Chain A
Amino acid sequence: MEGLFIGFTAITWRQLLMMAVGGLLIYLAIKKEYEPALLLPIGFGTILVNIPFSSVLDQIEGGQQIAGALSIFFRAGILTEIFPLLIFVAIGAMIDFSPLFRKPILLLFGAAAQFGIFFTMMAATLLGFDLKEAAAIGIIGSADGPTSIYVASRFARNLLGPISVAAYSYMALVPIIQPPVIKLLTSRAERTIRMDGNQKTISRTTLVLFPILVTGLTGMFAPTAVALIGFLMFGNLVRECGVLNKLSLAAQNELASLVTLLLGITIASTMTADRFLQVTTLFIIGLGLCAFIFDTAGGVLFAKLLNLALKKKINPMIGAAGISAFPMSARVIHTMGLKEDSSNYLLMYAVSANVSGQIGSVLAGGLILALVH
């Protein structure tokens, strides 16, 4: 009979607090629709793992280790990096690179808007984190959940929970974070700059060759980035080849949904009270915000710099779309453009910069893995 009440007698206030955190994540997912596909499983998983002696985690019973389901998922999906890589296949299948071909110069914004990653990494070292932990925290600025999880699982498994929560939360908050930073760094005249381009169609051969060549080139120069960029480009090749439409749709829908579900609930296995309720979590939440702010600033300031040399000016707000939060950031820039001038349509250019941000963020993850020892 005693065994029935063991949960009530063993629970601590820290576990109760974590359950409340789980409840908050579920609330944000359902009521505010902040990245619900991820925050809801993470929230529910947080409740699951903070129940005393929860069977979803490994437990010792009678001197023997009994494997818990979420611990098994963690070892099989996160430590092996399988889950984030499968998500990349799904994301690759969702990306249409053709807008980039219409204004290739926008590719450079995919590099500039990763500045927040590196700035935040430096800031994190000043707060006492070691280089690998700082790099894992900085990568929140990739504005790309799977990249953050991939790098954190290599460099700072102990920080995986807070890093994932911060990454996905701030991605959902892009419409709140980016506009004030953009307004601070640009004049109204700059925000009303019109952009021209063409609507040419891109040949299928070009769209098929692009993912193959990008993978080959990246691999030759930075082999550590091959897994990240390769799975992303593989998904894109499945989309563009034209003979695997069923697989492409499956990757975009079923694969994306299933792996996202598993990824979310598995990440929650790191959200135990002893790991999450630490001062470092607050630092990570603060540094994550800093990463998104400096990403945006990096993109905008680079566009302004580029404008000094260009005849046809680029609307500097487009630079801010160089972060990977797709398509949220492109929509934010388009809406801001319309607010300044109701006949200035920036969506196509913002989407181009946003797509380049997806390549840039994955590449940044690979480079961090190569450069940080």
Chain B
Amino acid sequence: MSEAMRMIFQQALAVTGKGMLALFAFMFLFYVLLVVVDRIFPGKESASSD
């Protein structure tokens, strides 16, 4: 592997780390948002299912 390729790979690795972390952080944020908004403006509980 050439030096240039190694550097690009390392950049890609850094983007992967930051990207996956940010994705989970956003999704967790949306998860909290869903739960909170649903609590504040609840709908009706109609049935339970398996």
A and B found bound together? yes
Contacts of B19 in A (CB 8 A): 117-118, 364, 367-368, 371
Given A107-B31, A206-B41, A359-B30, verify A126-B9 contact (CB < 8 Å).
Answer: yes
Contacts of A213 in B (CB 8 A): 33, 37
Q: Does B3 contact A (CB under 8 A)?
A: no
Contacts of B38 in A (CB 8 A): 101, 104, 202-203, 206
Tell me, rounded to whole Å, the shortest Cβ–Cβ distance linking B20 to chain A.
Answer: 6
- Which of A143-151, A215-223, A269-277 lies at the interface with chain B? A215-223
Contact of B35 among A104, A195, A214 (CB under 8 A): A104
Contacts of B46 in A (CB 8 A): 198-201
Is there an interface contact between A218 and B26, defined as CB atoms closer than 8 Å? Answer: yes
Given A114-B23, A131-B11, A198-B48, verify A122-B34 contact (CB < 8 Å).
Answer: no
- Name the interface residues of A88-142: CB closer than 8 Å to any CB of B: 100-101, 104-105, 107-108, 110-112, 114-115, 117-119, 121-122, 124-126, 128, 130-131, 134-135
Is there an interface contact between A199 and B49, defined as CB atoms closer than 8 Å? Answer: yes
Main secondary structure of the interface of B (DSSP, over half): helix
1/0 per residue, CB under 8 A from B, across A185-197: the answer is 0000000001111
Tell me, rounded to whole Å, the shortest Cβ–Cβ distance linking B6 to chain A.
Answer: 9
Complex Cα spacing A332 to B47, Å:
26
Contacts of B48 in A (CB 8 A): 196, 198-199
Q: How many A-B residue pairs have CB under 8 A?
A: 132
Main secondary structure of the interface of A (DSSP, over half): helix
Q: Does A49 contact B (CB under 8 A)?
A: no
Complex Cα spacing A194 to B34, Å:
24
- Name the interface residues of A331-363: CB closer than 8 Å to any CB of B: 356, 359-360, 363
Is there an interface contact between B50 and A122, defined as CB atoms closer than 8 Å? Answer: no
Contact of B20 among A105, A115, A126, A199 (CB under 8 A): A115
- Name the interface residues of B1-50: CB closer than 8 Å to any CB of A: 1, 5, 8-9, 11-13, 15-16, 18-20, 22-24, 26-31, 33-35, 37-38, 41-50
Contacts of A9 in B (CB 8 A): none
Is there an interface contact between A222 and B30, defined as CB atoms closer than 8 Å? Answer: no
Complex Cα spacing A118 to B18, Å:
10
Q: Does A210 contact B (CB under 8 A)?
A: yes
Chain A minimum-CB-distance residue to B18: A371
Chain A minimum-CB-distance residue to B11: A131
Contacts of A209 in B (CB 8 A): 37, 41
Is there an interface contact between B15 and A111, defined as CB atoms closer than 8 Å? Answer: no
Given A134-B12, A364-B23, A368-B15, verify A198-B31 contact (CB < 8 Å).
Answer: no
Given contacts A101-B34, A101-B43, 4 further A-B contacts (CB under 8 A): A114-B20, A209-B41, A217-B26, A359-B30
Instruction: Enumerate chain B interface residues (CB-CB to A < 8 A).
Output: 1, 5, 8-9, 11-13, 15-16, 18-20, 22-24, 26-31, 33-35, 37-38, 41-50
Instruction: Enumerate chain A interface residues (CB-CB to B < 8 A).
Output: 100-101, 104-105, 107-108, 110-112, 114-115, 117-119, 121-122, 124-126, 128, 130-131, 134-135, 194-203, 205-206, 209-210, 213-214, 217-218, 221-222, 356, 359-360, 363-364, 367-368, 371-372
Supply 26 A–B pairs (Cβ within 8 Å), ascending by A.
A101-B43, A104-B35, A107-B28, A111-B27, A114-B20, A118-B12, A119-B16, A121-B12, A124-B12, A128-B5, A131-B12, A135-B12, A135-B15, A198-B45, A198-B48, A200-B44, A205-B41, A206-B41, A213-B37, A214-B30, A217-B30, A222-B22, A360-B23, A367-B22, A367-B23, A368-B15
